[in-house]
Structure 1
Protein backbone atom coordinates (compact mmCIF):
# COMPACT_ATOMS: atom_id res chain seq x y z
CA UNK A 1 0.00 0.00 0.00
CA UNK A 2 2.80 2.43 0.87
CA UNK A 3 4.36 1.95 -2.56
CA UNK A 4 1.08 3.05 -4.12
CA UNK A 5 0.99 6.20 -1.98
CA UNK A 6 4.53 7.11 -3.01
CA UNK A 7 3.72 6.34 -6.66
CA UNK A 8 0.70 8.66 -6.54
CA UNK A 9 2.61 11.38 -4.74
CA UNK A 10 5.55 11.29 -7.14
CA UNK A 11 3.47 11.03 -10.30
CA UNK A 12 0.64 13.41 -9.52
CA UNK A 13 1.41 15.64 -6.61
CA UNK A 14 5.15 16.19 -6.60
CA UNK A 15 5.38 16.34 -10.40
CA UNK A 16 2.62 18.98 -10.36
CA UNK A 17 0.60 16.91 -12.83
CA UNK A 18 -3.14 17.31 -12.81
CA UNK A 19 -4.52 15.08 -10.07
CA UNK A 20 -7.10 12.59 -11.25
CA UNK A 21 -10.18 12.41 -9.07
CA UNK A 22 -11.99 9.58 -10.85
CA UNK A 23 -11.38 6.54 -8.66
CA UNK A 24 -12.16 4.10 -11.47
CA UNK A 25 -9.63 5.65 -13.84
CA UNK A 26 -7.06 5.89 -11.08
CA UNK A 27 -7.67 2.28 -10.06
CA UNK A 28 -7.27 1.13 -13.66
CA UNK A 29 -4.01 3.06 -14.03
CA UNK A 30 -2.62 1.66 -10.78
CA UNK A 31 -3.62 -1.86 -11.82
CA UNK A 32 -1.81 -1.39 -15.13
CA UNK A 33 1.21 -0.18 -13.15
CA UNK A 34 1.26 -3.57 -11.41
CA UNK A 35 -0.42 -2.86 -8.09
CA UNK A 36 -2.98 -5.25 -6.59
CA UNK A 37 -6.56 -4.06 -6.36
CA UNK A 38 -6.98 -4.63 -2.61
CA UNK A 39 -3.85 -2.54 -1.94
CA UNK A 40 -5.14 0.16 -4.29
CA UNK A 41 -8.39 0.41 -2.35
CA UNK A 42 -6.49 0.61 0.95
CA UNK A 43 -4.27 3.39 -0.41
CA UNK A 44 -7.24 5.38 -1.73
CA UNK A 45 -9.03 4.99 1.60
CA UNK A 46 -5.85 6.18 3.37
CA UNK A 47 -5.80 9.31 1.18
CA UNK A 48 -9.50 9.96 1.79
CA UNK A 49 -8.94 9.78 5.55
CA UNK A 50 -6.02 12.18 5.19
CA UNK A 51 -8.26 14.63 3.33
CA UNK A 52 -10.94 14.20 6.01
CA UNK A 53 -8.44 15.07 8.76
CA UNK A 54 -7.82 18.49 7.28
CA UNK A 55 -11.55 19.17 6.99
CA UNK A 56 -12.22 18.56 10.66
CA UNK A 57 -10.99 19.95 13.92
CA UNK A 58 -9.70 16.51 14.86
CA UNK A 59 -6.58 18.07 16.34
CA UNK A 60 -7.46 21.56 17.52
CA UNK A 61 -4.81 23.68 19.17
CA UNK A 62 -4.78 23.02 22.88
CA UNK A 63 -3.55 25.88 25.09
CA UNK A 64 -1.93 23.37 27.45
CA UNK A 65 0.28 22.08 24.61
CA UNK A 66 3.25 24.37 24.57
CA UNK A 67 6.87 24.34 23.50
CA UNK A 68 7.85 22.42 26.61
CA UNK A 69 5.30 19.64 26.23
CA UNK A 70 6.40 16.13 25.33
CA UNK A 71 4.45 13.64 23.23
CA UNK A 72 4.11 10.28 24.97
CA UNK A 73 3.81 7.47 22.42
CA UNK A 74 1.67 4.40 22.94
CA UNK A 75 3.15 0.92 22.83
CA UNK A 76 1.63 0.39 19.37
CA UNK A 77 3.09 3.66 18.10
CA UNK A 78 6.53 2.72 19.45
CA UNK A 79 6.36 -0.60 17.60
CA UNK A 80 5.96 1.24 14.27
CA UNK A 81 7.85 4.48 15.01
CA UNK A 82 11.29 3.52 16.27
CA UNK A 83 13.53 5.86 18.28
CA UNK A 84 14.99 7.40 15.13
CA UNK A 85 11.51 8.18 13.75
CA UNK A 86 10.28 9.64 17.04
CA UNK A 87 13.44 11.74 17.29
CA UNK A 88 12.91 13.00 13.75
CA UNK A 89 9.33 14.02 14.59
CA UNK A 90 10.65 15.94 17.61
CA UNK A 91 13.27 17.61 15.41
CA UNK A 92 10.57 18.64 12.92
CA UNK A 93 8.59 20.21 15.74
CA UNK A 94 11.64 22.06 17.04
CA UNK A 95 12.36 23.59 13.62
CA UNK A 96 8.65 24.44 13.17
CA UNK A 97 8.00 22.13 10.24
CA UNK A 98 5.35 20.34 12.29
CA UNK A 99 3.04 21.72 14.92
CA UNK A 100 0.81 19.81 17.34
CA UNK A 101 -1.93 19.22 14.77
CA UNK A 102 0.24 18.19 11.85
CA UNK A 103 2.35 15.93 14.09
CA UNK A 104 -0.78 14.14 15.22
CA UNK A 105 -1.97 13.84 11.61
CA UNK A 106 1.38 12.28 10.67
CA UNK A 107 1.17 9.78 13.53
CA UNK A 108 -2.45 8.98 12.65
CA UNK A 109 -1.55 8.31 9.01
CA UNK A 110 1.52 6.23 9.94
CA UNK A 111 -0.57 4.02 12.20
CA UNK A 112 -3.01 3.37 9.35
CA UNK A 113 -0.34 2.17 6.92
CA UNK A 114 -0.70 -1.56 7.58
CA UNK A 115 3.04 -2.23 7.51
CA UNK A 116 5.38 -4.03 9.84
CA UNK A 117 8.55 -2.39 8.54
CA UNK A 118 8.62 1.38 8.67
CA UNK A 119 11.73 3.50 8.22
CA UNK A 120 12.63 7.14 8.68
CA UNK A 121 12.56 7.53 4.88
CA UNK A 122 8.96 6.27 4.91
CA UNK A 123 8.18 8.78 7.66
CA UNK A 124 9.58 11.62 5.57
CA UNK A 125 7.18 10.71 2.74
CA UNK A 126 4.22 10.62 5.13
CA UNK A 127 5.20 14.03 6.52
CA UNK A 128 5.36 15.42 2.97
CA UNK A 129 1.95 13.97 2.12
CA UNK A 130 0.37 15.40 5.27
CA UNK A 131 1.90 18.86 4.84
CA UNK A 132 0.90 18.96 1.19
CA UNK A 133 -2.72 18.25 2.14
CA UNK A 134 -3.04 20.78 4.97
CA UNK A 135 -3.90 24.33 3.89
CA UNK A 136 -1.56 26.99 5.17
CA UNK A 137 1.40 24.63 5.47
CA UNK A 138 3.12 25.61 2.22
CA UNK A 139 6.18 26.99 4.01
CA UNK A 140 6.50 23.88 6.19
CA UNK A 141 6.09 21.69 3.09
CA UNK A 142 8.83 23.61 1.31
CA UNK A 143 11.10 23.35 4.34
CA UNK A 144 10.44 19.60 4.52
CA UNK A 145 11.25 19.22 0.82
CA UNK A 146 14.54 21.00 1.43
CA UNK A 147 15.33 18.67 4.31
CA UNK A 148 14.66 15.61 2.17
CA UNK A 149 15.95 16.54 -1.25
CA UNK A 150 18.88 18.77 -0.31
CA UNK A 151 20.92 16.07 1.38
CA UNK A 152 23.43 17.83 3.56
CA UNK A 153 26.83 16.57 4.55
CA UNK A 154 27.43 16.35 8.29
CA UNK A 155 25.13 17.35 11.18
CA UNK A 156 22.03 19.50 10.65
CA UNK A 157 22.91 21.99 13.40
Structure 2
Protein backbone atom coordinates (compact mmCIF):
# COMPACT_ATOMS: atom_id res chain seq x y z
CA UNK A 1 0.00 0.00 0.00
CA UNK A 2 2.72 2.48 0.93
CA UNK A 3 4.49 2.03 -2.40
CA UNK A 4 1.26 3.02 -4.17
CA UNK A 5 0.94 6.09 -1.94
CA UNK A 6 4.51 7.17 -2.70
CA UNK A 7 3.85 6.70 -6.42
CA UNK A 8 0.75 8.91 -6.20
CA UNK A 9 2.66 11.58 -4.27
CA UNK A 10 5.46 11.59 -6.82
CA UNK A 11 3.20 11.62 -9.89
CA UNK A 12 0.20 13.77 -8.90
CA UNK A 13 0.78 17.15 -7.34
CA UNK A 14 -2.64 17.14 -5.61
CA UNK A 15 -5.33 14.55 -4.93
CA UNK A 16 -7.73 16.28 -7.33
CA UNK A 17 -5.12 15.85 -10.10
CA UNK A 18 -5.61 12.07 -9.89
CA UNK A 19 -7.87 10.44 -12.45
CA UNK A 20 -11.14 8.83 -11.34
CA UNK A 21 -11.02 5.61 -9.31
CA UNK A 22 -11.40 3.19 -12.25
CA UNK A 23 -8.87 4.96 -14.46
CA UNK A 24 -6.39 5.32 -11.60
CA UNK A 25 -6.76 1.62 -10.80
CA UNK A 26 -5.99 0.70 -14.42
CA UNK A 27 -3.01 3.06 -14.52
CA UNK A 28 -1.56 1.72 -11.26
CA UNK A 29 -2.07 -1.82 -12.46
CA UNK A 30 -0.30 -1.01 -15.73
CA UNK A 31 2.64 0.40 -13.76
CA UNK A 32 2.95 -2.95 -11.99
CA UNK A 33 1.11 -2.68 -8.68
CA UNK A 34 -0.98 -5.64 -7.51
CA UNK A 35 -4.78 -5.21 -7.43
CA UNK A 36 -5.09 -5.83 -3.67
CA UNK A 37 -2.34 -3.28 -2.97
CA UNK A 38 -4.09 -0.74 -5.23
CA UNK A 39 -7.49 -1.25 -3.59
CA UNK A 40 -5.99 -1.03 -0.11
CA UNK A 41 -4.26 2.25 -0.98
CA UNK A 42 -7.33 3.77 -2.65
CA UNK A 43 -9.55 2.76 0.28
CA UNK A 44 -6.99 4.29 2.66
CA UNK A 45 -7.00 7.50 0.59
CA UNK A 46 -10.79 7.63 0.72
CA UNK A 47 -10.52 7.39 4.50
CA UNK A 48 -7.96 10.19 4.40
CA UNK A 49 -10.40 12.39 2.53
CA UNK A 50 -13.08 11.73 5.17
CA UNK A 51 -10.60 12.32 8.01
CA UNK A 52 -9.56 15.67 6.54
CA UNK A 53 -13.19 16.77 6.42
CA UNK A 54 -14.06 15.53 9.90
CA UNK A 55 -10.96 16.84 11.72
CA UNK A 56 -10.91 20.34 10.26
CA UNK A 57 -10.82 22.77 13.17
CA UNK A 58 -11.53 20.12 15.83
CA UNK A 59 -8.43 20.78 17.94
CA UNK A 60 -7.35 24.08 19.36
CA UNK A 61 -3.73 25.13 18.91
CA UNK A 62 -1.49 23.94 21.71
CA UNK A 63 -3.89 21.23 22.82
CA UNK A 64 -2.32 18.31 24.66
CA UNK A 65 -2.68 14.84 23.17
CA UNK A 66 -3.06 11.78 25.39
CA UNK A 67 -2.65 8.54 23.45
CA UNK A 68 -4.98 5.62 24.16
CA UNK A 69 -3.46 2.21 24.83
CA UNK A 70 -4.54 1.03 21.36
CA UNK A 71 -2.80 4.06 19.78
CA UNK A 72 0.34 3.42 21.83
CA UNK A 73 0.36 -0.21 20.71
CA UNK A 74 -0.23 0.61 17.03
CA UNK A 75 2.10 3.61 16.83
CA UNK A 76 4.87 2.59 19.19
CA UNK A 77 7.33 4.88 20.95
CA UNK A 78 9.32 5.83 17.87
CA UNK A 79 6.29 7.03 15.89
CA UNK A 80 4.77 8.88 18.83
CA UNK A 81 8.14 10.56 19.37
CA UNK A 82 8.29 11.57 15.71
CA UNK A 83 4.78 13.03 15.84
CA UNK A 84 5.81 14.99 18.96
CA UNK A 85 8.93 16.20 17.16
CA UNK A 86 6.86 17.49 14.24
CA UNK A 87 4.45 19.21 16.63
CA UNK A 88 7.24 20.86 18.61
CA UNK A 89 8.86 22.01 15.34
CA UNK A 90 5.59 23.80 14.57
CA UNK A 91 4.90 21.95 11.32
CA UNK A 92 2.17 19.59 12.48
CA UNK A 93 -0.74 21.51 13.99
CA UNK A 94 -3.21 19.65 16.21
CA UNK A 95 -5.84 18.98 13.47
CA UNK A 96 -3.17 17.52 11.18
CA UNK A 97 -1.78 15.47 14.05
CA UNK A 98 -5.22 13.94 14.54
CA UNK A 99 -5.47 13.06 10.86
CA UNK A 100 -2.00 11.46 10.95
CA UNK A 101 -2.99 9.38 13.98
CA UNK A 102 -6.32 8.42 12.39
CA UNK A 103 -4.63 7.26 9.19
CA UNK A 104 -1.83 5.45 11.07
CA UNK A 105 -4.48 3.56 13.03
CA UNK A 106 -6.23 2.72 9.74
CA UNK A 107 -3.10 1.28 8.14
CA UNK A 108 -3.13 -2.48 8.14
CA UNK A 109 0.51 -2.89 8.96
CA UNK A 110 -0.28 -5.73 11.39
CA UNK A 111 1.53 -4.49 14.46
CA UNK A 112 3.27 -1.27 15.29
CA UNK A 113 3.53 1.18 12.42
CA UNK A 114 7.07 1.47 11.10
CA UNK A 115 8.58 4.97 11.25
CA UNK A 116 9.17 4.89 7.48
CA UNK A 117 5.46 4.22 6.95
CA UNK A 118 4.44 6.96 9.38
CA UNK A 119 6.58 9.41 7.41
CA UNK A 120 4.66 8.46 4.27
CA UNK A 121 1.40 8.98 6.15
CA UNK A 122 2.53 12.46 7.23
CA UNK A 123 3.53 13.26 3.66
CA UNK A 124 0.16 12.10 2.36
CA UNK A 125 -1.67 14.26 4.91
CA UNK A 126 0.22 17.32 3.66
CA UNK A 127 -0.49 16.22 0.07
CA UNK A 128 -4.21 15.77 0.74
CA UNK A 129 -4.41 19.30 2.14
CA UNK A 130 -2.56 20.72 -0.87
CA UNK A 131 0.33 21.83 1.33
CA UNK A 132 4.01 21.22 0.86
CA UNK A 133 6.06 20.68 3.99
CA UNK A 134 8.98 22.93 4.79
CA UNK A 135 12.25 21.87 3.08
CA UNK A 136 13.79 20.73 6.39
CA UNK A 137 10.73 18.62 7.15
CA UNK A 138 10.84 17.11 3.64
CA UNK A 139 14.45 16.17 4.39
CA UNK A 140 13.32 14.57 7.64
CA UNK A 141 10.57 12.66 5.82
CA UNK A 142 12.71 11.42 2.92
CA UNK A 143 16.30 10.98 4.08
CA UNK A 144 17.13 7.91 6.13
CA UNK A 145 18.90 8.87 9.37
CA UNK A 146 21.69 6.38 8.57
CA UNK A 147 22.38 8.22 5.30
CA UNK A 148 22.83 11.64 6.90
CA UNK A 149 26.28 13.19 6.94
CA UNK A 150 27.34 14.71 10.22
CA UNK A 151 29.50 17.79 9.83
Tell me if TM exceeds 0.5: yes
C-alpha spacing 1:76/1:57, structure 2 compared with 1 (3 Å): closer
Q: Which has the higher contact order (CA 8 A, sep 6+)?
A: 2
Residue in 1 aligned with 2:23? 25
Tell me how far 1:59 sits from its aligned partner: 5.2
Name 1:5's counterpart in structure 2. Answer: 5
User: In the superposition, relative to structure 1, how do residues 53 and 149 fare at CA in structure 2: closer, same or farther (>3 Å)?
Assistant: same
Residues 42-85 of structure 1, C-alpha deviation per residue, up to 9 Å, x if partnerless? Answer: 211211221233334455134xx636x3x222222222212111
TM-score (norm 2): 0.79
Gaps of 5+ in 1: none
Rate the CA distance shift 1:56–1:45 in 2: closer, same or farther, 3 A.
Answer: same
Q: How does 1:35-74 map to 2 (within 5 A)?
A: 35-57=33-55, 60-62=58-60, 66=62, 69=64, 71-74=65-68
Corresponding pairs, count: 145
Match of 1:124 among 104, 119, 127: 119
Cα pair 1:124 1:148 within 8 Å, conserved: yes
* Contact in 1 for aligned 2:55/2:98 (Cα 8 Å): no
Query: Pick from 71, 82, 86: which aligns with 1:88?
Result: 82
Deviations along 1:10-61, one digit per CA (max 9) or x if unpaired, are 2223xx8x93322111111111223222331221121122123333445513
1:112 Cα deviation after fit? 1.0
1:142 is matched with 134
Following superposition, which runs of at least 4 residues in structure 1 exceed 6 angstroms of deviation?
none
RMSD: 2.7
**Bigger share in helix:** 2
Extract unaligned runs of 5+ from structure 2.
Answer: none
